[in-house]
Structure 1
Amino acid sequence: MTDPILSLKDASLSLNGNAGPVDILHSITLDVARGETLGLIGPSGSGKSSLLMLMGGLEQATGGSITALGHDLTAMGEDALARFRRDHMGVVFQSFHLIPTMTALENVATPLELSGARDAFERAAAELETVGLSNRANHYPAQMSGGEQQRVALARASAPRPHILLADEPTGNLDEANGAAIMDLLFGLRDRHGATLVLVTHSHELAARCDRIIRLRDGHIAPETARKAAE
């Protein structure tokens, strides 16, 4: 693999628990190519969401290194990481994380405004149209269904045209029909903007749509997927 957009070298994560340090991830080494779609699967507690958080600089590695677009995330402070995510990454969570006091349009426009875009609201409106929510632009999250809120979250993540899209169980709180629609939209946004997509999912059907699958087990990359990645 040449010129990876994400590269982890012996990345580890330990968190302090009531009984002392808890090892979450153990010496993860992984490269993700530009434009690749990578599915992270594994049982609950295997570390897949934690791995995604490391990739996005939302958790700081306690060992090893993580680079994204050639920048060493492990050397950045919180403010620098926030600016890097603003400029280069889109993140979609299972629980939407919309700002409840803002309309759909305002939620989508927020990252664009923070990056200094003068046409933030025009771009936000166009992104809402892409996910089929032009008629909900002036509605607040509490006035929308779960599927509609997740579409707003997708529009917000994709509006700044990120190089990297990170999605953590984006269909986990949705019924089957809404979940399928959200995944079609997510892959469509990936195709339209050419972003690299890293997706955490429990769905093997969804993972099968990815270019490559990495299975985690007890904080390690399962040997069989490591071998496939190297082939």
Structure 2
Amino acid sequence: MSDPVLSLTDATLSLEGNAGRVEILHGITLDVQRGETLGLVGPSGSGKSSLLMLMGGLERATGGHVNALGQDLTTMSEDQLARFRRGNMGIVFQSFHLIPTMTALENVATPLELAGHRDAFDRARAELQAVGLADRADHYPSQMSGGEQQRVALARASAPRPAILLADEPTGNLDGANGAAIIELLFGLRDRHGATLVLVTHAPELASRCDRVVHLRDGRIDEMANGLTEAAQ
């Protein structure tokens, strides 16, 4: 088997809270292969989003190792992590995180400009067209529906053609029809760019589209639930 795109070895995460140190993730060991679509599921508070943040270098593991594309994220500085994400990862959040003072086109073009692409705006227009928003390019986030804003966020994440696409509850703030449309777009963008996709979801219909599903509970991989899922497949 080829080298995994993402590899976590005994990764832990703890954060300081008002009541002291809180253990979020406990000894996570997990590989994600190139081109795979992995769903992270589990009850609220199980550590799904925290695990995704470790994979993206948005949280730093307090123990163990997190490797992405052969690079050890746990040894990188914040600047190195930012540059690595910019060149290799696209991240989609539940709450969109668009820049309110920028148009849809500018939001999508910004990461391309930061990466030094001279054709940033041409590529941004192409990505907006791919998500069905060519006619909304000059609109601001406040002028768009939630479904449209999430489409812009998808276009922004996929525009740099990342090797890894991470999505945290991408349909969580959307109604059924918009959520279904976003699912189709997300998998379409994955296929178009050949990205490895890891997503956090509570939606069974989204999890069922994944090549593999990993269940988490209390900050650990739930081996019993994962065994039942594999048996059902």
Q: Structure 2 counterpart of 1:181, which letter?
A: A
Corresponding residue number in structure 1 for 2:71:
71
Give the aligned CA root-mean-square deviation in angstroms. 1.4
Aligned length: 231
Partner SS for 2:38: strand
Deviation (angstroms), 1:79? 0.5
- Give the alignment's TM-score, normalised by structure 2: 0.97
Corresponding residue number in structure 1 for 2:156:
156
- Single out whichever of 216-225 and 154-163 deviates more from structure 2: 216-225
Partner SS for 1:45: coil
Name structure 1 gaps, 5 residues minimum. none
1:56 paired to 2:71: no
Does the Cα contact within 8 Å between 2:109 and 2:123 map onto a contact in 1?
yes
Deviation (angstroms), 1:225? 5.0
Corresponding residue number in structure 1 for 2:113:
113
1:149-198 deviation per Cα after TM superposition (whole angstroms, max 9, x unaligned): 00000000000000000000011000000000001000000011100000
Q: In structure 2, what is the Cα distance between the partners aligned to 1:40 and 1:152?
A: 23
Partner SS for 1:90: strand
Q: In structure 2, what is the Cα distance between the partners aligned to 1:19 and 1:126?
A: 49
Q: In structure 2, what is the Cα distance between the partners aligned to 1:144 and 1:204?
A: 27
Corresponding residue number in structure 1 for 2:216:
216
Does the Cα contact within 8 Å between 1:213 and 1:225 map onto a contact in 2?
no
Distance 1:225 1:98, change over 3 A: same
1:203 paired to 2:218: no
Deviation (angstroms), 1:32? 0.2
Distance 1:9 1:95, change over 3 A: same
Deviation (angstroms), 1:111? 0.5
Partner SS for 2:138: coil
Q: Structure 1 counterpart of 2:90, which letter?
A: G
Q: Any residues of structure 2 matched to 1:163-202 within 5 Å, and which?
A: 163-202=163-202
Q: In structure 2, what is the Cα distance between the partners aligned to 1:109 and 1:138?
A: 12
Corresponding residue number in structure 2 for 1:34:
34
Partner SS for 1:156: helix
Deviation (angstroms), 1:214? 0.2
Q: In structure 1, what is the Cα distance between the partners aligned to 2:230 and 2:211?
A: 14
Deviation (angstroms), 1:226? 5.2
- Single out whichever of 155-164 and 220-229 deviates more from structure 2: 220-229
Distance 1:230 1:81, change over 3 A: farther
Deviation (angstroms), 1:230? 9.3
Regions of 4+ moved over 2 Å: 224-231
| Identity between Structure 1 and Structure 2 (%) | 77
1:12 paired to 2:15: no
Partner SS for 1:4: coil
Q: In structure 1, what is the Cα distance between the partners aligned to 2:222 and 2:102?
A: 42
Name structure 2 gaps, 5 residues minimum. none
